[in-house]
Every structure is written in C-alpha cells, then in structure tokens.
Structure 1
Amino acid sequence: MENLFLKSSVKITYKENKDKWNIFLAMLLESFKSERYFPYTVELKLREGYIYGNVSFEIPTPEIWLTRKYGVIGIDTNASPLHLAMAEVSEDGNLVSYQSISLHEFLNYSKKRKEHEEWLLAHKIVEIAKEKGKAIAIEDLKKVKRGFRGDGKAKLRKRLHYWNFRSLLSKTERIARLNGIEVIKVNPAFTSVIGSLKYAPQLNIDKDIAGAYVIGRRALGFKEDIPENYLKLLSDKEYLEYAIYRYEEKERELKEKLKEETNQYRRNAINSELKEFQKAKTILLEKLQSLQSEPSWGKEANGRNSDSHQKAWQVLKVALVLPLLGKAFTRDFSSLKPLLVEGKWKRSALGLVPSGFGGTMPRGNTG
C-alpha cells in the first residue's frame, strides 16, 4: 500500500501555567541540537471530520546544577526600542559584563516565524548562561499591570500588542530547566527606576542594562538603598519647591496643547501625560509637607518596609527626572553623576523658582 503524507497546520490550545506543549517543543529542539533523543507517542483520531492528536511523553526532571550560588544573568525586557538587556552579576552583586540583543526584526516576522525565532533566541540565552556559569534571573511578568497599552501612544501600543515578552521568557525558562539551570523570577517593580537613577549614572551604562543589573541583584537577595546624596536633595525644601514649579509649568503647557489639539488619539496621549505630571506634582507636594513632621524619612526609606521603600524611589524619580534632566522621558541619566557621587547640583543653572512661590528666591551656586 502506498504511503500518503498530508501537510497541515496544527491548532494548539493550552493554558500558559500548564504549558506542556511548550515543554514538548523545547525537548524536541533540545534533542535535535544535542542528538540525544527521547521516546514519545503520537495518537491521531478522526472525529466528525476533524483530526485530533494526542502526544504522550515523559517530562524529565533534570537536577539543577547551575544555581544562583555562582551569580546570575539578569534579563530586562524593553519595548522601546524593542530589545533584551542582559547583565552578568557576580555572586557578591557586582556587574561583570553586559550586552543587548535587538528584537526589532521580530516585528516583521509572521506568527510562525516569530515562534521559531523565539525558541532559537531562548537557546542562545541559555548558552550564554552556560558559558558564563550563571543562573538566569527574569521578570515575573504576571506582576506587570495588564492595563498598560502605551497610554495613547499609537506606535508603542501597537508594538506591545504584537510582542509578547512572556512567551519568550517562558521558552527561556523551559529550556534553562531542561539544561539544569536555575531560573529565578523577581518582581519587576521599580527595577527600571532604580537602574536608571542609581546605576546608569554611577557605572556609565545604558538605563536598560542598569535595569537588568537590578533584576540580577534582586534575584541574589540584595536590597537597593537610596544613595545618601539623593536623600539630602529630597530633604531640601527649596529644591522641592523648584521641582513642583517645574511640574506646574509643564501642566500649563500641556493644558494649552490640549485646547488646540483636535485629533482624539493625540488628545488621549496628552491627557495621559497631563495626569502623570499632576500625579508627580501631588507626590512632591506630599513630600514637601512631610519634611517637618517626618525628619527621619530618609532612614525609613532605606528600611525594610516595602511600601515605604518603593514610595521613596517613586518620590526620587519625579523629583529628579523632569526638574534636573529637563525631560519626563529620557534615556540618558549620565548628568546625574555629579549629584549622585559628589552631591553637587547647580542651582543657578536650574533658574530656581520665581519670587513669590513658596517664598523661594533665586540664589547663587551652592556647589
């Protein structure tokens, strides 16, 4: 009897938290690469004109031999520009090496091609971990707010809709564990902020690499205290008044733009940005009001209370980014280094708050 072959697409349905199909695919790719094959059974059934398939295989449980004991490779996922930032972190928390992997070309792939390329990239990441002798630290994306879709920015919203970082990280996790490599998931909250404000200027590295570095350090159990010179700045009443004034300036500017804009999508983007600035101003006002009643705020900010610690970084972000860097959204944090390291900032260059706002008067340089 002549053999007949039929080529067809296969529709797969599975739950992400019980993703045995991805495990099977990872095992197939791993066996093809290593030439160490494993047994599995495929059963096909014809029912009401449809062919249903069932795959049976034994899931291996390899011993984890490469653990965080030797350090980690921290991975940060970024949508704009679309890429992975990877930081090699030693067991004592120091940055050893780093690299970025662009994912921009993935946007042009078909769904099937993208799926295939994700598997290849997951293997590449695992090979890097093996070469460095480090475990892998990734973001726990289940803790990322689902409602985020670019906040009215059409290009970013489209990119986030198309790209699913969770899919890539899930594949990486599967292949790593099949190779006996520990994978540590960490809460990504404020990793980007901490990386940008603390390590990007301090180590002269990209903000996304700095975010990956913080993810790696968090996986190793390190806590991120706010640097002393930043705390001093946040205890300066005059500086906080200046920062609030800068946000009020931006608020007025956006309200004027909103009056003139007729395109609804652009209005949504402006409205979203306006709300962010208003929220930032409120945070700074609360901090200013709390200075006299909470003189030990800096100590509490670096304490063990998680809410207090995160709030401290949130205050720091809004106090530094727009007022000192001049932009609400920036990738270059190098100009913060003099403040971070030496505690210096030029008040005359800032212009300070005009007379009549909170009693603040312009004054000369203080270092």
Structure 2
Amino acid sequence: MDITGVDEMGTVKTTTQTRLNVRGEEKKILDDLMRRWSSCMRYAYKRLLEGRTRNELKRELQPVFSLNSRYVDDAILEAQGIINLSKELGFKPEKVIFGGRDLFEKLSKNHLSEEEKKKLKQEWRDRRQGNPYSRGDKSKGGNLNLRIVKEGEKFYLRVNTGVRKWILLELKTSHKKWGLFESFLIQGVPYSVRVQRRNDKYYAHITFEETLPDTEIGFKDGAIGIDLNAFPSHIAWAEVDREGNLKSYGEIPTPHLFDGKKEKRDYFAWQYAHQIVRIALEKRKGIVLEYLKIKDKGYKGDYTGRKSRRIRHNFSYKKLKERIISLARRYGIAVKELNPAYTSVIGMLKYAPQLSITKDIASAWVIARRGLGLSERVPKNYLPLIESSQRESGRADGSTDGRNLSAPKFPKGASYNLWQVLRVAVVPPLSPERRNIPRCLSPLKPLMVSGDVGRTLNGREILRPGAGSMAGEIAPAGFIPSLKRRYTNSSAPELCANVQLR
C-alpha cells in the first residue's frame, strides 16, 4: 500500500498493487500497447520542450500511435509532469534519460558479459516501454481504458487495446487495502491505473481517493517534535506538555532509508512512519515537523566529502516526511510544518547540557516548543560570550523574533543571528581539533549554572575547558562522554518532568 499524497479537500490518495495473469496472445497485445503508449509519451515530451501545446498534440498523436484520445491525453500529462518535476528538482528537462541514467551508463560499458548485458537490456526495456497509465474519470464511473470489472468471484482488468477491442486480465491480490477499494468500486469512485512490467511479470497499481477523518488529536495538551537526521540515520522525537516542558523522548534508528533499492527504502519509510504515528496516538498529541530541504553544501554537518554526498542523496527525507503526514491525517492527528531555523543550535546550546541529552533530541524538543508558539531566550550566563563576540566582530543581529528579550541591543541590519554568534563562541573550544560538533554537550552545564568563562590573551571572554571554577568540572577538549542512560520509551526521568521552562 502506498499513499501518494494528501490534498486540501480532506482526501488521501491510496495505491494498492495487484498481479496480472497474462498469457499467450494477451501478452503480445499488452506489450504492443505498452510500446505505443510509451513512445507517445516520449514523443510528447520532446514536443512540449519545443513549445507545442497540449491541444495541438492531442489531435496530432492519435493517428500516429493508434491510440484513443484518453490514452494520448494521459501520455501528454505524464510528459508534462516529468518536465515540471525536473525543473522543481533543479535538473534540466532536456537531459532526462527515459529508462534511467544509471542503467544507460551501465549498458554503455564494454566489459559486460552477454548474460549480464541481456538482463540489463530487459530491465531497460521494462522501464522505458512498460508503464502505460490511465486516469480515472468520475463522470464515467471509474476508468474507461483500464477498468476493473468483476465476473463471478474474480476481478479482471479490462484493457482497451483499440476501437471496440478489449482483453481481460485476471487480477491476483491479497492486499489488506483491496477490500476498501472493492467497496469504493461498487460506488463508482474514480481510480487511476498504471500497468508495469518487471522481469516478464505484469502488475497493476490502482490509485483511489480515501476521505480523511476529522482531526481529533491536536495541540491543546502539547506536541510531539520530530527531528529527522541523515547521519547517523535516525529519528529523534520529544514529547512536551502544553507549557513546553519535556515529558518523554526517544530515538528510532533508520538504517534502511539510505541503503538498498528504492522499493526497500519505500517499505521501511512506511515502517518508520507507523512508529511515529503510534507514538502520537499513544500520547494523544499532534506532530510537529521541520520544513527542510536537505542539500549538500560542502562541509556541513557531522560528515563531509563523498560519503556525505552519497548519504544525503539517498536519504529519503521527503519520502519519510510525506508518509508521516499522510498516516497522521488518516488517523485524525494534526500535523504542523515549521521553519527549522536555529532549532539545532538552540537545542544544542540551551537544552542538551541541562539534561545531558543528545543535541538531536534537544532539537526535537525545540521543534515541539516552536510548534506550540513558544519562544526561546538566550540563557543569561551566555550573554558575556555574545557581548565579547560583538566587541570583537562588531556585528550581530538584533532581530531574533522575540527569542532574546533579555539580550543586549545590537545594531540594526547586522548579519548574524545571536544564536549563531553564540555557537561560534561556544562550540570550537569544546572541540578545537575537530570539525565535528560533539554529540554530547554536557560540559556546557557548569557554564550555564555558574557563568564562568575563560579569557584569551587578547582579553576576549570565551568558554575554555579548565578556566575558573570550571577547571575540575569540564572534561579535556575533544572528550565526549558516553551517556549511560538513554530513555527511548514513553517513560521519561523525573528530572525531565519537573523542569519548568518558560
């Protein structure tokens, strides 16, 4: 089962897969239809890039590919969708290779054995030619070109292959959503069908719309903040009450989101999304997510170089987020998406040291609080560091969206946010010989309590391990203590429940 998206009208698109029983002459007829439809779609793609219109192509392509107007129109819309997606992702539509660039490059190599080359060619043909698609039509009671019909106790896919010509292909499925689709089928609900060929086997993917229930679980009692992380691949979550106080937290490892084939990553994305939704159902609180685009920007995060690029490319952040939203809406759980600016920095410097939690869990805590509309202030004992940084650099940002009411005033139009200035002042002394941000920020706790800072030779106030009354409390630079206790279930320590934050 796959949920492809949620619209604003309170419906969700659900896709279920069935196997087609194709034999003998039916196989030749279906393969021919697949070839003509796919050729029509690729031809329309090229013409759309040249500036041709949908109406012009719809009239022109019907006799060329011997397809009816609905098949042709669906092929044109499919081509336009690929163009729009390419532009949205920042790719040049002219560079798209139908069948897959990876397969194309593999087939271009000369060292392949005959058996391997034959296998890759068949996979190439399946991807390039084996994807006919037909949209549903409410006025026609379902789908005219690829219609699901029932004869006796069996279901068939009736495929329109020409003028008053059809073939019936038996459907075989045991999917748990099939019963729901069958009830919709009786009501004449429209559904779209895509036929695919893989390894000489044929499948039908049927997409229909489900009406979503009313939202019953909101944010009146608190929220569940979610922080998605590419490496190490895991989901950090934090539950807060209506005042923003931490109640419970945990981490869900997600090692399968950047490893393996697309189908495998799709499957596990659903599994992880179900775990998040189960937590929200148990806590009876809405979910708060980041609105974030993961891009490789050189040295960013905990890992760099080729390994970082591979992880960021394969990490299915958008896919996982969409599944969490879809499942939550289906169970009547409210979901918010918000700007993630400085959530990691705030969690790392303000909350992680207080309870000796990881910066990812602390970030999820900040996300949950922001989802409730709560603001964040810079801890008082950090202010000398900010003032010192301001004296040295002469620039800091006074516009902090109400998060720094107790902070000093800074010139208007400055370029840095106070939290970013604080990060630069605090983090490097903790790990001067590393690029990485420490996973544990507990050495900052004495500074937040006592306010002690060290001084450099030029008199700048800065956190230095071994300075002042912190000398016996802060570990050497680069040392990252391991947490002996990590709470990954619904029960939080009493310390978390009693901390009152405003």
| TM-score with structure 1 setting the length | 0.65
Shift of the alpha carbon at 1:90?
1.1
Higher helix share: 1
Q: How does 1:326-341 map to 2 (within 5 A)?
A: 326=432, 327-329=434-436, 330-341=438-449
Counterpart pick for 1:85 among 236, 244, 252 = 236
Aligned to 1:39: 184
If asked which structure has higher relative contact order (CA below 8 Å, sep 6+), I would say 1
Distance 1:6-1:73 versus aligned 2 partners, 3 A rule: farther
1:212 aligns with 2:361: no
Distance 1:81-1:222 versus aligned 2 partners, 3 A rule: same
CA distance in 2, matches of 1:66, 1:309: 40
1:148 aligns with 2:297: yes
Aligned to 1:160: 312
1:139 aligns with 2:245: no
Give the AA of the match of 1:221. G
CA distance in 1, matches of 2:408, 2:323: 36
Aligned to 1:62: 213
Shift of the alpha carbon at 1:87?
0.6
Counterpart pick for 2:375 among 209, 215, 223 = 223
Aligned to 1:313: 419
Give the AA of the match of 2:271. L
Q: State the SS of the aligned residue for 2:453.
A: coil
Partner deviation per Cα, 1:89-148 (whole Å, 9 max, x = no partner): 11110111111111124433321011011112212211111011111111112xx46453
Contact 2:254 2:272 in 1 (8 A): no
Contact 1:230 1:343 in 2 (8 A): yes
Partner deviation per Cα, 1:224-277 (whole Å, 9 max, x = no partner): 11011001232247xx88xxxxxxxxxxxxxxxxxxxxxxxxxxxxxxxxxxxx
Give the greater-gyration-radius structure (CA). Answer: 2
Aligned to 1:255: none
CA distance in 2, matches of 1:233, 1:319: 7
Give the AA of the match of 2:420. Q
| TM-score with structure 2 setting the length | 0.49
For structure 1, the residue ranges without an aligned partner over 5 or more in a row are 22-30, 242-283, 291-297
Counterpart pick for 1:195 among 343, 347, 367 = 347
Q: How does 1:237-256 map to 2 (within 5 A)?
A: none
Shift of the alpha carbon at 1:168?
0.2
CA distance in 2, matches of 1:337, 1:53: 58
CA distance in 2, matches of 1:52, 1:313: 53
Counterpart pick for 2:337 among 185, 195, 201 = 185
Distance 1:116-1:217 versus aligned 2 partners, 3 A rule: same
Aligned to 1:264: none
Distance 1:307-1:215 versus aligned 2 partners, 3 A rule: farther
Contact 2:256 2:268 in 1 (8 A): no
Partner deviation per Cα, 1:191-231 (whole Å, 9 max, x = no partner): 10000000000121111000111010010111011011001
Contact 1:137 1:216 in 2 (8 A): yes
What's the Cα RMSD here? 4.2
Q: State the SS of the aligned residue for 1:32.
A: coil
CA distance in 1, matches of 2:256, 2:307: 15
Give the AA of the match of 1:229. N
Q: State the SS of the aligned residue for 1:323.
A: helix
Q: State the SS of the aligned residue for 1:80.
A: coil
Contact 2:296 2:309 in 1 (8 A): no
Q: How does 1:355-366 map to 2 (within 5 A)?
A: 357=458, 366=468
Shift of the alpha carbon at 1:336?
0.6
Q: State the SS of the aligned residue for 1:39.
A: helix
Contact 2:395 2:414 in 1 (8 A): no
Shift of the alpha carbon at 1:310?
6.9
Aligned identity (percent) is 36
CA distance in 1, matches of 2:416, 2:219: 25
Distance 1:286-1:129 versus aligned 2 partners, 3 A rule: same
Give the AA of the match of 2:429. P
CA distance in 2, matches of 1:324, 1:45: 55
Q: State the SS of the aligned residue for 1:65.
A: coil
Shift of the alpha carbon at 1:82?
1.0
Shift of the alpha carbon at 1:59?
3.5
Give the AA of the match of 2:422. L
Partner deviation per Cα, 1:319-350 (whole Å, 9 max, x = no partner): 11003443442222111111112212355xxx
Higher strand share: 2
CA distance in 2, matches of 1:159, 1:103: 12
Q: State the SS of the aligned residue for 2:376.
A: coil
Aligned to 1:100: 251
